[in-house]
Structure 1
Amino acid sequence: MSSFLGIDAPCAHEIEKIKGSRFLGFAFPVRDEEEALALVAEKRKQFHDARHWCWAYRLGIQGDRFRYQDDGEPSGTAGLPILKEIDARGLTDVLVLVVRYFGGTKLGTGGLARAYAQAAREVLERAALVEVRIDRPVRVSFSYEDTSAVQSVLHRFQQQAIEATYGERTELLFSVPSAQAESFAQALRDATSNRAQIQIGPEAPGQRTPR
């Protein structure tokens, strides 16, 4: 897996009323649970007079972390349908929140599930998608005598440093596609006869390309 699909910016959309109830959908790009829950708290405060604030998120480069909340609606009628809409698009690092203003008429469990799914689906249809490359940080430290050799490797791998520190030794930080990180590091070792000091970090979101 070299990339994942997310959304580029927050998005909001209200669907047509269903038997008097209003459903306001919000989609957000998020990096972790703390950010997701802070956004939920923010919307609960903003729409404090609503009846329910139901949500779901999926997180992580592999999309392996998720959580959903029915917030007082019958179990399985709100958070799970929202999560299924996120998953139907193969998205991760995404939070979808649906705020409901009760209209006075109960919708039944099936009606509720369809309404929350519709609200999530329609806001996600309006969100700008982004493909996020999976990178690994590679930090390189080398002496002046190896500058030319290092530059040759950088040119071959088409890499530019995102951070640089100059002193007795030069330290450069790169964000390298995960699949190339090990070969990039090995090329630097070979070019400097193992004099370069190299650290490779864990996978992280990298370059973002609009879809």
Structure 2
Amino acid sequence: MIMVVIYLDKGEEYKTVSSSEEVFNKIKDSKFYGVAKTCSSIGLAEEFIDNIREKHSDANHNVNAYRVYNNNNIIEYADDDGEPAGSSGKPILQQISTRDLINTVVVVTRYFGGTKLGIGGLIRAYGETAKLAIEAAGIKNLILYKKLKFKGPYDYIGNVLGQLEKFKADIKEQGYEEGQFVILAVLKYNIVNNLIKEIREITSDKIEINITDSFYL
């Protein structure tokens, strides 16, 4: 078992797998099944691993690895699941990390066919199957979005709506609170500062603006 903690600010974008498709790879009589999945936490990654272990409970090995963002750190984990140390989990993790994927878990299941592959053969077999699983799943970029709350005198609602339209924000909700208008809107991270600056300027800083949430899409 290998676990590595790397400090990293995930930043404005990151890559992960876009779907989950099981692949099959036969090497010298051993059958290998690989599957990759996106996961937003260590708990979800381990839950997925447990599900695959249950699905392939009769297999000789369910080797796994994941790379997950957690509290400004990248957690890299690999488990050989009974195979010789460093022969299986590490090459799976390498397929994830060389593509700079985050929030990604891969499990490669092996049904032993009677022919020993040796350390080098295992490294190639597990790495190749993990590669096939990632390719089958596909890769997508996730972009950071911010959710903002705008609150102010009704006289300025037209100014705010005009800027939200200009910056192509997604307006989620409009209403009233304490006699003032309230607007909730979502927009890409790289637009937020310019939008806030313009709204403050054209309303003489009469609008209360708060970022209420951040998420990736």
- TM-score by structure 1 length? 0.86
- Structure-1 residue corresponding to 2:163: 153
Task: Choose which of 6, 20, 24 in structure 1 pairs with 2:29.
Answer: 20
The answer as to 2:193 corresponding to 1:182 is yes
Task: Choose which of 2, 11, 34 in structure 1 pairs with 2:21.
Answer: 11
Q: Residue 2 of structure 1 contacts residue 177 of structure 1 at CA under 8 Å; is this kept in 2?
A: no
- Structure-2 residue corresponding to 1:204: 215
Q: Residue 143 of structure 1 contacts residue 169 of structure 1 at CA under 8 Å; is this kept in 2?
A: yes
- Structure-1 residue corresponding to 2:114: 104
- Quote the offset at 1:92 in angstroms: 1.9
AA partner of residue 70 (structure 1): D
- Structure-1 residue corresponding to 2:184: 173
- Quote the offset at 1:64 in angstroms: 2.6
- Structure-1 residue corresponding to 2:64: 55
- Structure-2 residue corresponding to 1:133: 143
Aligned residues: CA RMSD: 2.2
Are the structure 2 counterparts of residues 165 and 32 from structure 1 closer, same or farther at C-alpha, using a change threshold of 3 Å? farther
Task: Choose which of 121, 142, 153 in structure 2 pairs with 1:143.
Answer: 153
Matched-pair identity in %: 29
Q: Residue 153 of structure 1 contacts residue 191 of structure 1 at CA under 8 Å; is this kept in 2?
A: no
SS at match of 1:189: helix
- Structure-1 residue corresponding to 2:86: 76
Q: Residue 138 of structure 1 contacts residue 185 of structure 1 at CA under 8 Å; is this kept in 2?
A: no
SS at match of 2:200: helix
- Quote the offset at 1:81 in angstroms: 0.6
Distance of 2:69 and 2:185 partners within structure 1:
21
- Structure-2 residue corresponding to 1:209: none
Distance of 1:127 and 1:109 partners within structure 2:
27
Q: Residue 170 of structure 2 contacts residue 187 of structure 2 at CA under 8 Å; is this kept in 1?
A: no
- Structure-1 residue corresponding to 2:6: none
Structure 1 unaligned blocks of 5 or more = 207-211
**Count of paired positions:** 205
- TM-score by structure 2 length? 0.84
Are the structure 2 counterparts of residues 59 and 164 from structure 1 closer, same or farther at C-alpha, using a change threshold of 3 Å? farther
Structure 2 unaligned blocks of 5 or more = 1-10
AA partner of residue 43 (structure 1): I
